[in-house]
């Protein structure tokens, strides 16, 4: 015989349920991500680069724009090739550049710019892409068709050309460079979000919200967007290195960051010009950049595996 | 399929139109004109120059003048390279760019397919992991880092193999001599080789597990015949849909490669035009690029239908 369910039973059940800590999707994802060794190491290395970029310049003996003509294009003291013209000596651990500035502090400054361009441009593309994609997907019909048609048009030329044109217009303004890169990188984000929105808006809870009288804008903001975040976050980790690359690409061509400020692209460009006599000017910034890009790629791969429900 | 192709080509016209319109007006909003010099010109001369280039008219009139000329294939005079029209500059650079672009695409397809297939055939072996790690590096490290480093190794330090000096020139075109081609083509192809190898490995692994390959194996065909005659055909299909992005990647890469190796192609004109505000040149090159990408994408789509009989484009 089944005992009738009393209030006491229910309260008891609820109390016990409160003690059990639920494993949310995000907890699971984090656990899986940390179990992925490549991703974990990448997170640590990237963290170290970020900390060095933010705090490193405060502890170094030289300012990023301090010019010392007595050590022009000098190798670091520990450089293995004895045939170099001069050794920078002292605390120039990465040697000096072609006007005698300390390369270590400039590499770290480059890291600051490159990492912040990655973050800001990604943020811009995230905001535009999510808003655009969610609106198009949720409204559907002709508006959706028109909006996505526009995305297709922009897609048909490589986005770097658009950024170059935007840079010509903005006259190589430092901050607008970040925005310009973000402003052209939202296309894929918009497509992803739209696709996700199309499936989310069929769900019962959206219908319930609509029945409850929530406005379209409210539904998009509180019900659609939070539910499309999984794929979006994976794409975000891929947009950050893409933005870093775009900025460095432009700087390499002379269309990006201007002296005396610097970024990895500028440093690699300078290093490429001087590599016959001063290879360290190319090697250090290039190594920093390559390691950073690797880290982001591994984290992106790890996140995709961690968030992909098919893999469970 | 013919009607599909025609429809796609017609659909490209509004796309091109929007791109031209967007860039035209964006360029005109830009502060600073092409004739701003350190030293101001006397007003009469400045006026005459502007009149000669139609810059004294309102912007919307300039736009229609430009469109009208463009419809006749005339992209106007270059603002900075005096005595040259944009058409002349592009005609000058296009063969050069096309040569390195096409060569590196072919190289990428060939090597990418080969590496990917080998990795798939030796799945989870050292060969597989080795190839895929190198491919990962090829994807991650950008052209403008690989380019200088390869130049450093092969050009500056030079290499001697069995007593022969195999060092390569660090730049220049030299009328398209083979030695001058090797490094730029290789640098341009590397990222594409990497991506193609990864795609190829994935699809090859899938195909090798399919039923018809098992049938072929049960028939007692040699491994070589199975791979070349049966598996490869189906496995290259995903590559065809990657052709579009690959072309875009090669075009983007050519900006860096042409700058890096001092190659007189249209990519370098584009960058120089952007650096000194040569509006007509930048727009001309962009229109060229956009047209090329649209047409090549269309060819890739049609090729897909030819190769895969299951794909039929709706009438």
A278 contacts on B by Cβ (under 8 Å): none
Closest by Cβ to B148, choosing from A168, A254, A282: A282
Nearest CA in chain A to B275: A255
Q: Does pLDDT of B218 surpass 50? A: yes
Token pair, residue A307, equals 């968030």
Q: Classify domain A43-59+111-259+293-311 at the CATH topology level.
A: MetI-like fold (1.10.3720)
A171/B256 Cβ within 8 A:
no
Inform me whether the C-beta atom of residue A268 falls under 8 Å from chain B C-beta atoms: yes
DSSP code string of chain A? -PPPPPHHHHHHHHHHHHHSPP--HHHHHHHHHHH-HHHHHHHHHHHHHHHHHHHHHHHSSS-TT---GGGTTPBPTT-S-TTSS-B--TT-TT-B-TTS-BHHHHHHHHHHHHHHHHHHHHHHHHHHHHHHHHHHHHH-HHHHHHHHHHHHHHHTS-HHHHHHHHHHHHTT-HHHHHHHHHHHTHHHHHHHHHHHHHHHTTSHHHHHHHHTT--HHHHIIIIIHHHTHHHHHHHHHHHHHHHHHHHHHHHHTTSS--TTS--HHHHHHHHHHHTTT-THHHHHHHHHHHHHHHHHHHHHHHHHHHH-GGG-
Mean pLDDT in residue range A284-312? 79
pLDDT class for B166, splitting at 50, 70, 90? low
Quick check: A136 and A190 in contact, CB under 8 A? yes
Most confident of B26-30, B73-77, B81-85, B262-266: B262-266
pLDDT one-digit tens code per residue, B139-161 = 888 888 888 888 877 776 766 66
Q: Does pLDDT of B170 surpass 70? A: no
Closest by Cβ to A294, choosing from B14, B140, B152: B140
Q: Does pLDDT of A22 surpass 70? A: no
pLDDT class for A216, splitting at 50, 70, 90? confident
CATH superfamily of B91-267+295-307: MetI-like (1.10.3720.10)
Closest by Cβ to B282, choosing from A165, A252, A289: A165
* Residue A222 or B172, more confident: A222
Question: What's the pLDDT at A312?
Answer: 42
Interface of B with A (CB under 8 A): 14-15, 18-19, 23, 26-27, 29-32, 136, 139-142, 144-145, 147-149, 151-152, 156, 248-249, 251-252, 255-256, 259-260, 270-271, 274-275, 277, 282, 286, 289-290, 293-294, 297
Inform me whether the C-beta atom of residue A168 falls under 8 Å from chain B C-beta atoms: yes
- Which residue of B30, B144, B154 is the best one to mutate when testing the A interface, meaning the one whose CB has the most A CBs within 10 A? B144
Say whether pTM exceeds 0.80: no
A249/B142 Cβ within 8 A:
yes
Q: Where are the domains of chain B?
A: 91-267+295-307
Centre a 10 Å sphere on the Cβ of residue A292 and count the other Cβ atoms it contains.
25
ipTM of the complex: 0.75
* Residue A276 or B247, more confident: B247
pLDDT one-digit tens code per residue, A79-130 = 777 666 777 677 777 777 777 788 888 888 888 888 888 888 888 888 898 8
Task: Choose among B273, B289, B276, B268: nearest CA to B173.
Answer: B268
A267 contacts on B by Cβ (under 8 Å): none
Question: What's the pLDDT at A12?
Answer: 77
Question: What's the pLDDT at B110?
Answer: 92
Inform me whether the C-beta atom of residue A249 falls under 8 Å from chain B C-beta atoms: yes
Percent of chain B at pLDDT above 90? Answer: 4
Question: What's the pLDDT at B315?
Answer: 44
Q: Does pLDDT of A164 surpass 70? A: yes
Which uninterrupted H or E stretch holds B98? Answer: helix B86-121
Question: What's the pLDDT at B311?
Answer: 65
Most confident of A81-95, A174-188, A235-249: A235-249
pLDDT class for B108, splitting at 50, 70, 90? very high
d(CA A294, nearest CA chain B) in Å: 6
Q: Mean pLDDT across chain B, nearest whole number?
A: 80
Closest by Cβ to B271, choosing from A253, A276, A294: A253
Question: What's the pLDDT at B111?
Answer: 92
d(CA B94, nearest CA chain A) in Å: 17
Q: Mean pLDDT across chain A, nearest whole number?
A: 80
Closest by Cβ to B290, choosing from A156, A272, A297: A156
- Which residue of B18, B255, B268, B290 is the best one to mutate when testing the A interface, meaning the one whose CB has the most A CBs within 10 A? B255
pLDDT one-digit tens code per residue, B35-47 = 666 667 777 877 7
Q: Where are the domains of chain A?
A: 43-59+111-259+293-311
Centre a 10 Å sphere on the Cβ of residue B122 and count the other Cβ atoms it contains.
14
Inform me whether the C-beta atom of residue A293 falls under 8 Å from chain B C-beta atoms: yes
Q: Does pLDDT of A1 surpass 60? A: no
pLDDT class for A175, splitting at 50, 70, 90? confident
A294 contacts on B by Cβ (under 8 Å): 136, 140
Question: What's the pLDDT at A24?
Answer: 66
- Three-state DSSP class for residue B244: helix
Quick check: B201 and B119 in contact, CB under 8 A? yes
Mean pLDDT in residue range A275-303? 84
Quick check: A122 and A232 in contact, CB under 8 A? no
B152/A279 Cβ within 8 A:
yes
Nearest CA in chain A to B150: A272
Q: Does pLDDT of B220 surpass 70? A: yes
Question: What's the pLDDT at A311?
Answer: 46
Question: What's the pLDDT at B39?
Answer: 65
Distance of alpha carbon B301 from alpha carbon B4, whole angstroms? 10
pLDDT one-digit tens code per residue, A28-75 = 777 877 877 788 888 899 999 899 888 887 877 777 777 777 777 777
Q: Does pLDDT of A134 surpass 70? A: yes
Token pair, residue A288, equals 């920093």
């Amino acid at each position: 015989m089944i005992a009738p369910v009393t209030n006491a039973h229910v309260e008891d059940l609820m109390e016990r349920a409160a003690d059990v800590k639920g494993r949310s999707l995000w907890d699971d994802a984090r656990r899986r991500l940390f179990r992925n060794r490549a991703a974990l190491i990448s997170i640590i290395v990237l963290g170290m680069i970020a900390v060095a970029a933010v705090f490193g310049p405060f502890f170094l003996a030289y300012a990023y724009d301090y010019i010392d003509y007595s050590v022009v294009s000098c190798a670091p003291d520990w450089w293995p090739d004895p045939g170099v013209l001069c050794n920078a000596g002292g605390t120039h651990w990465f040697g000096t550049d072609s006007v005698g500035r300390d390369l270590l502090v400039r590499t770290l400054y480059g890291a600051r710019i490159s990492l912040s361009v990655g973050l800001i441009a990604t943020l811009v593309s995230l905001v535009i892409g999510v808003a655009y994609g969610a609106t198009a997907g949720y409204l559907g019909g002709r508006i959706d068709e028109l909006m996505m048609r526009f995305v297709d048009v922009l897609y048909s030329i490589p986005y770097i050309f658009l950024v170059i044109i935007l840079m010509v217009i903005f006259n190589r303004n430092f901050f607008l460079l970040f925005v310009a890169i973000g402003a052209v990188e939202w296309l894929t984000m918009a497509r992803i979000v739209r696709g996700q929105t199309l499936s989310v808006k069929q769900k019962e809870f959206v219908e319930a919200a609509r029945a409850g009288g929530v406005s379209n804008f409210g539904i998009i903001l509180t019900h659609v967007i939070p539910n499309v975040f999984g794929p979006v976050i994976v794409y975000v980790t891929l947009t950050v290195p893409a933005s870093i690359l775009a900025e460095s690409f432009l700087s390499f061509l002379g269309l990006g960051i201007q002296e005396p400020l610097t970024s990895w692209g500028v440093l690699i460009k300078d290093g490429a010009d001087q590599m016959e006599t001063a290879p360290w000017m190319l090697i250090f910034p290039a190594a920093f950049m390559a390691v950073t890009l690797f880290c982001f790629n591994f984290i992106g791969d790890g996140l995709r595996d961690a968030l992909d429900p098919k893999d469970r | 399929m013919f009607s599909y192709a025609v429809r796609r080509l017609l659909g490209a016209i509004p796309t091109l139109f929007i791109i031209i319109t967007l860039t035209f007006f964006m360029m005109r909003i830009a502060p600073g004109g092409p004739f701003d010099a350190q030293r101001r010109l006397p007003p009469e001369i400045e006026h005459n120059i502007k009149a000669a280039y139609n810059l004294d008219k309102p912007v919307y009139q300039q736009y229609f003048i430009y469109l009208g000329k463009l419809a006749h294939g005339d992209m106007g005079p270059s603002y900075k390279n005096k005595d040259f029209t944009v058409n002349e500059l592009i005609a000058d650079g296009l063969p050069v760019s096309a040569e390195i672009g096409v060569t590196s695409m072919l190289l990428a397809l060939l090597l990418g397919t080969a590496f990917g297939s080998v990795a798939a055939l030796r799945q989870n072996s050292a060969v597989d992991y080795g190839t895929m790690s190198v491919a990962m590096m090829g994807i991650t490290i950008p052209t403008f880092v690989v380019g200088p480093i390869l130049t450093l190794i092969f050009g500056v330090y030079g290499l001697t193999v069995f007593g022969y000096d195999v060092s390569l020139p660090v730049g220049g075109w030299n009328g398209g001599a083979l030695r001058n081609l090797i490094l730029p083509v290789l640098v341009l192809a590397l990222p594409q080789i990497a991506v193609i190898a990864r795609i190829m490995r994935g699809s090859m692994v899938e195909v090798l597990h399919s039923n018809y390959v098992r049938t072929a194996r049960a028939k007692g065909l040699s491994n070589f015949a199975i791979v070349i005659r049966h598996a490869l055909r189906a496995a290259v299909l995903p590559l065809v849909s990657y052709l579009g992005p690959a072309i875009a990647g090669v075009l983007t890469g050519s900006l860096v490669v042409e700058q890096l190796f001092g190659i007189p192609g249209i990519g370098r004109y584009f960058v120089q035009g952007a650096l000194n505000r040569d509006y007509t040149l930048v727009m001309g090159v962009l229109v060229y690029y956009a047209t090329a990408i649209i047409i090549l994408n269309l060819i890739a789509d049609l090729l897909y239908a030819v190769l895969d009989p299951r794909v039929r484009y709706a009438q």
